[in-house]
Structures are given as C-alpha cells and as structure tokens.
Amino acid sequence: MLTDASRRRDFPSLEGKVYLNSAAEGIPPLSVGKAFEQYFADKLLGMDGRDLHAAQWNAAKELLAGFYGLSTDEVSICSCSSEAYNLAAMALRLKAGDEVVINDLDFPAGATPWLVPGSPATVKLWRHRDGALHVEDLIPLLGPKTRLVTTSLVSFFNGFMIPLPQVLAAVRKHSSAQFSLDVTQALGRIPLDLRDVDLIVSSTHKWILASHGGGLVGVPSKSAAAWTVPAGGWFNLTDAFGAQRFETAVNKPGAAGFTVGMPNYPAVYAIRAGLDYIRSVGVEAIHAAAGPLVAQCLEEVGRLPVELLSPRDPSRLAGILAFRHPEADRIHKHLRSKNIHVMSHAGRLRVALHGYNTSKDVETLVAEMKSALKS
C-alpha cells in the first residue's frame, strides 16, 4: 500500500488512476476478493460451513476490538451504520423532555434517528463556525435533560475532526448524557483513542477497505446497560430457543444486542480481510504517509480560487478536505476526463487521501484543477 511495489501488488486497479474518493468507497486490496471467494467455498459446505463462518466472525471481532480498544465481548457487527443508530435510538427509550445534541457537520445516519416522526426527544443542533465545531458552542446545549450527544469523529462533509478529549470532557462535566461517536471517516486512516466513548459505530466500505454490508459497533461494558437494544430477533437474545421463548424475550446487553439475526457473513469475511490488511500495514504508518499529502493538498488547494470548506489547520483533519466552486460540476467532469476521482456533491468537491495515494496524485489533482479553473 505504501510503496510502489505493494501498491501495484495489492491494488492493481489503481494503476493509471488518481483515486481520491476513499471517503465514499475505499478500494479493497486483492485479499478482500480472496475473502469473498473463501466465503463462497465455505458456503458450498452447507451447514458444515457454519463453523468456518463463525471462525471468520470471531476473527473479525477480535480485530475490531483491537482497533476500538475494547474486548471482543464489547464489539459486534450489524449491517450498516444507519441500522446501528436506529437500534441505538430504540435502546435509549427516550421520552418527551429528553434532549439529544446533533451537529451540522454530521452524516444523516447518526443525526436523523432523533428527527423522524414519533421520536419524542428535543433535538439541539450544535452548529459549526468556519467549518469547525467549537466546544464553547456545545457547552450551552448541555444540561440535566441531555440524554445523548452524537457526532462523527471526522466529518464526511468537510473532514473536520472534533477535538475528542475536550468534547468528552465537556459532555461529562455538563451532563450525564451518553456519548456516541461515528468513526466511519477515521477508522483505518488515523490512530484512534476511543476511551470513554459510550457507543462507537462505523461503516465498512470506506477507509478499512472492506465491503458494503457492515456496521461495526462498540460498547464498553460500563455502558452496556444503557445500550440494551429492545429489538426482536434471535441472535440478539439471551435464550432465543429456550422453553420460555413464546412468553418472554430477553435482549443481550451492549454491542451483542446490535446483531439481531444471522450475521451478514459475506461482509464479515471482507471486514476480517480489510481490517487484517490495515493492521498489517499499520494505521500509524498509513497516517505518517498520507498525513503529509493532506497538508500538501490543503496548502495547494488553499491557494486556488475556490471556497475552502475545511479548516486550514491540517492537524484538525484526518484524510478528507473539501471545497466549493460555482462550477464544481464542470471541474468534476474535467477531473474525471483525466481519470482523477473525487467526490462531487451539492456543489462541493471532496478529496480523500489514503495510504495508497502518493504525492504525485496530489500534484496531478492540483495541476488539473488549475487547468480547469483557467478554462
């Protein structure tokens, strides 16, 4: 991933392409393709394949626990981040008068379960200023009624990374709320210290280079009672096939309760392979290689006649930066014509830099941006 040789070996599809869209879709290494083949081979065994599926499940959970800094009992895998958040909303059993704090840099998955019809809590919006969320703006939103503060660690919108220790300190000092963190745009890209977070959620098709169909859930045991999901199912129940099964259903507390039925095993195989790959390269090494590319890109793009949406301080970013231009669509088309892949959405262009990117990728992007902006 980090050298020409390993990039060519593990990501042959990137040859001749400037791929800067890992915040939307990561490019899986070939080992993830092998994991899918393995799934199919194991599935052909019918019921005998179940032990092999379970082994992949356990290996994926063990890897995930390492990334989240939790034990294997404190993590589980559902089908996507949105599912995890909807189950989380069930677990909180909010009442009228309860308050939930969301923010305007967050992805809808974590922000909207509290906004849908029938959700009884009052939602308070922590607004960004100049592309950054400031802790001093959060504090007045906190109080005895706050039940949940939910945010992404890294914004999908502009790449801003919240100052996690300061945010957590403010939440703990000014409320007794649960704190949930979406690490989709961080996991696999930057080293994480998630101590004291009550609920951790991540999608699986971006920076961890796995597939669609996973939602990675972490709940430390101290928060498990608060996150007991009252959902029907069987995988999530303590005794789904016991003698009392048509009289009562007892939910597993914490992360285990977020996997309601049969795990999405094809995704689980891919997640195991993706996390294994990231671990073998090392998140520190990925960040050491890709961090300077973000700084380089920020500086170069910051000099262009575009509206930068990301903070100018690279230490507040992980792998994403974003900017706006009235002719974003035309610029995007120009970049695509040069086989440069960035995200274009609602007038904003987003660049994402992972361990398989190079300084040359940034130079090519900036040169073609200049060319597009001239014409």
Given the complex with ligand PLP, which of 81 and 251 has the nearer CB atom?
81
Given the complex with ligand PLP, which of 7 and 272 has the nearer CB atom?
272
Distance of closest approach, residue 80 Cβ to ligand PLP, in angstroms: 3
Distance of closest approach, residue 180 Cβ to ligand PLP, in angstroms: 12
How far is residue 212 CA from its own chain's centroid? Answer: 12
Burial of 212 (0-12, 13-18, 19+ CB in 10 A): middle
Count CB neighbours of 259 within 10 A: 24
Distance of closest approach, residue 248 Cβ to ligand PLP, in angstroms: 31
Given the complex with ligand PLP, which of 214 and 291 has the nearer CB atom?
214
Distance of closest approach, residue 203 Cβ to ligand PLP, in angstroms: 3
Residue pair 317/298 in contact (Cβ under 8 Å)? The answer is: yes
Given the complex with ligand PLP, which of 126 and 156 has the nearer CB atom?
156
Distance CA(200)–CA(255), nearest Å, equals: 9
Given the complex with ligand PLP, which of 162 and 237 has the nearer CB atom?
162
Distance of closest approach, residue 212 Cβ to ligand PLP, in angstroms: 8
Please give the structure tokens belonging to residue 47.
């019921």
CA angle 89, 95, 96 (to 5 degrees): 125
- Give the 3-state secondary structure of 147-192: EEEEEECECCCCCEECCHHHHHHHHHHHCCCEEEEECCCCCCCCCC
Burial of 337 (0-12, 13-18, 19+ CB in 10 A): exposed
Given the complex with ligand PLP, which of 297 and 318 has the nearer CB atom?
318
Alpha-helical runs (H) found in 303-349? 328-337
Q: Which residues bind ligand PLP (CB under 6 A)?
A: 80-82, 107, 109, 152, 156, 182, 184-185, 203, 215
Distance of closest approach, residue 88 Cβ to ligand PLP, in angstroms: 12
Please give the structure tokens belonging to residue 115.
């906004």
Given the complex with ligand PLP, which of 195 and 345 has the nearer CB atom?
345
Distance of closest approach, residue 182 Cβ to ligand PLP, in angstroms: 5
